């Protein structure tokens, strides 16, 4: 056995003519039992990272970053037909600019310690693992991989149809950031097959959600969940022309929606439907709405915005009101007033006429 048992970090950059990490037909003679960090960048002819290398020998691997390897087709080329394997300590994965990457592993991989996952510019990648970033919407995971995951970035991942296709969504208890952009086949973020109780808290720690240039995205989630990303602070949605429903929680600080032709907004509220109490967006500071041709009412409920500083509305040709029930607001004894430090209404002539009224009353329709 070739003894690399003390090797903890391996970085390979622009090793242009390297095809394999080793040439021996029996890679098990290489001892990488303590390898913790592997970075490979700009190795143009590398075909596989771990070719027939037993993954159980990578039990100390914590960080795996592969970038700009034009020929690379598979990360882990399994040496047998085992149904699943585990990388117990792997916490950070980044795959970027891998135009020929088709699969991560020929078997099912589990990532019980994964915290950060970034897949960018991998246009023909079929899936990350079964049921997660998997084009087959009916497949599910067993919920053992993503308890620690707190950041997901998917960009230019063309085969991505849904991010999670299982009840695994309930296991993402500490996910804080989700960025998805330029995924031309993505239809839904979370496709849940099992029944979920209305009291279940889903994505409770999600802080930032950014969705950009997703032409086929129609829904965020396929179930009615009242306790869905209730603590979300930043919501940015751009160029999602098929998105017809956007669920908005009350703890937002920043809301930005643009170039979404079919979009309308639904307020996530724990109040019963019969209750007509005021919904207060206490923390919402900035709102930008641009090029929303089907949006008629922004917040379809009685609402108030005591912290709003910037409101920008541009080219929303069918918009009738910012909140739905203006009469109820006028007759109420509201004490919270609407004094944004910056207000912009573009391409909407009648809105300019009521600007004075907006700044003199509690938040009314515009």
Sequence-distant (≥ 6) Cβ neighbours of residue 289 within 8 angstroms: 257, 258, 295, 298, 312, 313, 314, 316, 319
CA distance 27 to 49: 12
Q: In the predicted model, what is the mean pLDDT of the chain?
A: 78
Q: Are 157 and 119 in contact (CB under 8 A)?
A: yes
The region of weakest confidence among 27-41, 49-63, 202-216, 326-340 is 326-340
pLDDT at 22: 72
CA distance 136 to 198: 27
Distance of CA 172 to the CA centre of its chain: 12
Q: Which residue has the tokens 């056995």?
A: 1
pLDDT at 152 over 70: yes
* Greater model confidence, 1 or 177: 177
**Spatial CA neighbour of 102 closest among 158, 154, 62:** 158
Question: Could you state, in order of their start, the residue ranges of all structural domains in the chain?
Answer: 1-87, 114-270, 295-366
Could you count the other beta carbons within 10 Å of the beta carbon of residue 260? 26
Tokens of 83: 């149904």
Q: Are 286 and 310 in contact (CB under 8 A)?
A: yes
Kindly indicate the confidence band of residue 131, based on its pLDDT and cuts at 50, 70 and 90.
Answer: low
Q: Which residue has the tokens 């439907």?
A: 273
Report the predicted TM-score, pTM, of the whole model to 2 decimal places. 0.82
pLDDT at 178: 95
State mean pLDDT over 131-155.
Answer: 70
Q: Are 17 and 45 in contact (CB under 8 A)?
A: yes
pLDDT at 27: 55
pLDDT in tens, 31-56: 888 999 999 999 999 988 888 777 87
**Spatial CA neighbour of 198 closest among 148, 273, 146, 280:** 273
CA distance 348 to 366: 10
State mean pLDDT over 296-300.
Answer: 70
């Amino acid at each position: 056995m070739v003894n690399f048992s003390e090797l903890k970090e391996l970085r390979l950059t622009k090793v242009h003519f390297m095809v394999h990490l080793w040439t021996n037909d029996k890679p098990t003679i290489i001892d990488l039992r303590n390898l913790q960090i592997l970075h490979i960048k700009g190795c143009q002819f590398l075909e596989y990272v771990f070719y027939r290398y037993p993954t159980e020998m990578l039990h100390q691997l914590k960080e795996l970053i592969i970038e700009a390897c034009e020929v690379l087709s598979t990360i882990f080329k399994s040496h047998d037909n085992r149904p699943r394997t585990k990388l117990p300590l792997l916490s950070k994965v980044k795959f970027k600019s891998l135009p020929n990457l088709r699969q991560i592993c020929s078997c099912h991989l589990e990532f019980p310690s994964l915290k950060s996952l970034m897949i960018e510019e991998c246009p023909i990648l079929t899936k990350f693992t079964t049921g997660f970033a998997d084009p087959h919407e009916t497949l599910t995971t067993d919920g053992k991989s993503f308890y620690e995951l707190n950041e997901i970035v998917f960009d230019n991942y063309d085969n991505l149809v849904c991010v999670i296709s299982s009840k695994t969504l309930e296991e993402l208890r500490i996910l804080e950031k989700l960025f998805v952009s330029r995924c031309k086949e993505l239809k839904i973020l979370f496709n849940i097959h099992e029944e979920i109780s209305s009291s279940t808290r889903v994505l409770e720690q999600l802080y930032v959600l950014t969705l950009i240039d997703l032409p086929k995205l129609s829904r965020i989630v396929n179930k009615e969940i009242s306790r869905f990303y209730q603590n979300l602070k930043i919501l940015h949605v751009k160029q999602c022309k098929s998105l017809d429903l956007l669920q908005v929680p009350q703890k937002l600080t920043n809301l930005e929606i643009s170039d979404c032709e079919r979009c309308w907004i639904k307020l996530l509220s724990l109040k019963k439907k019969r209750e007509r109490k005021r919904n207060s967006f206490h923390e919402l500071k900035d709102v930008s709405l641009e090029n929303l041709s089907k949006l008629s009412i922004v917040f379809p409920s009685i609402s108030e915005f005591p912290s709003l500083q910037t409101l920008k509305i541009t080219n929303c040709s069918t918009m009738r009101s910012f909140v739905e029930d203006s009469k109820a607001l006028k007759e109420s004894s509201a004490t919270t007033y609407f004094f944004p430090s910056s207000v912009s209404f573009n391409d909407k002539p009648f809105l300019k006429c009521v600007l004075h009224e907006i700044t003199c009353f509690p938040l009314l329709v515009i």
